[in-house]
Amino acid sequence: MKRPARPKEVVVRSLGELVRKISTLAAESNMKHWYRGQSDSSWNLLPSVFRGQGTDNDKKGAERDHMHTFRSRAGIRYERAPNFEDIAGWISLMQHYGLPTRLLDWSRSPLVAAYFALEKYIYDRHTQPTEACVWALQPHRLNASQGFDEITVSIDSGVCKHEIQPAFYHSEAETGKVHAVMASETDLRMFVQQGAFTIHSTTTPLDEVKLPNGVLRKYVIPAQVCERFALELAASGFRKGDIYPDLQNLALDLHQFRPRLDALRK
């Protein structure tokens, strides 16, 4: 069987160049785009729950176990926990706190995505450079290609329940589709990060799914420019204390960030 064509790759070497390329993309396509930053450009677009070793059945069994354990133990730890049957609310909360789920995070902001791709270079001068990337996704066209309406609904709407239910219930069959949905902005961090999700009812990475041309595009950041690019982001106000708007990250940002002007002069 012929493998689908790889998404188009474009090299960007600075923050300014990324902004220019994204502006051109927006003008040419006249389409909404979402963005995702990855610190290693070789990584596939696959949710964390489906990564690593083991069979698909093993991964999905572990997924259901984690969903139910988290849901049963979260109430005393989190006063605003969703109602027990609000599975969209629960899986969003799990994703927010770092539990592996079938959700993949996206942002409406390419600069927020770039921050996530390059954050480590801002705070650790000993980081070994690795080629990073920012993915651009046309969510409406993705949904149309998967048989959904050419819109992006809220994850709380109930429209995407068939992609979420198999994460909780063994009796529910997978649709095998990827669905782009808006996050429900009930949390300040989600608001600041301009968050959105793709829900994956398949273990095939999104970048290996057969999609119409232009639905996915990859902006590659070469390893040798990652540090400078990251410090350009920091100088533009994209730092830990603002991307994660809580007191702990504000304190970490103030303590750890040291502008390295020598890197910016290169």
Q: State pLDDT tens for residues 72-94.
A: 998 888 888 889 899 999 999 89
User: How many separate helices (H) and strands (E) can be counted in the chain?
Assistant: 11, 7
Tokens of 120: 């480590």
Report phi then psi at 54, rounded to 5.
105, 160
- Please check whether residue 22 is in contact with residue 136, taking contact to mean a CB–CB distance below 8 angstroms: yes
Q: State pLDDT tens for residues 152-174.
A: 999 999 999 999 999 999 889 99
Tokens of 116: 């996530």
**How buried is residue 213: exposed, middle or buried, by Cβ count under 10 Å (0-12/13-18/19+)?**
exposed
Stated pTM of the model: 0.91
Tokens of 109: 């902001």
Q: Residue 200: its pLDDT value, please?
A: 97
Residue boundaries of the structural domains of the chain? 8-265
| Burial per residue of 64-103, b for 16 or more beta-carbon CB atoms within 10 angstroms, e otherwise | eebbeebbeeeeeeeeeebeeeebbbbbbbbbbeebbbbb
**Regions in the chain scoring below 50 on pLDDT:** 1, 261
Tokens 């050419």 belong to which residue? 150
Q: Residue 253: its pLDDT value, please?
A: 79
Tokens 């942002």 belong to which residue? 107
Mention every residue, 6+ apart, whose C-beta is less than 8 A from residue 112. 35, 37, 193, 194, 238, 243
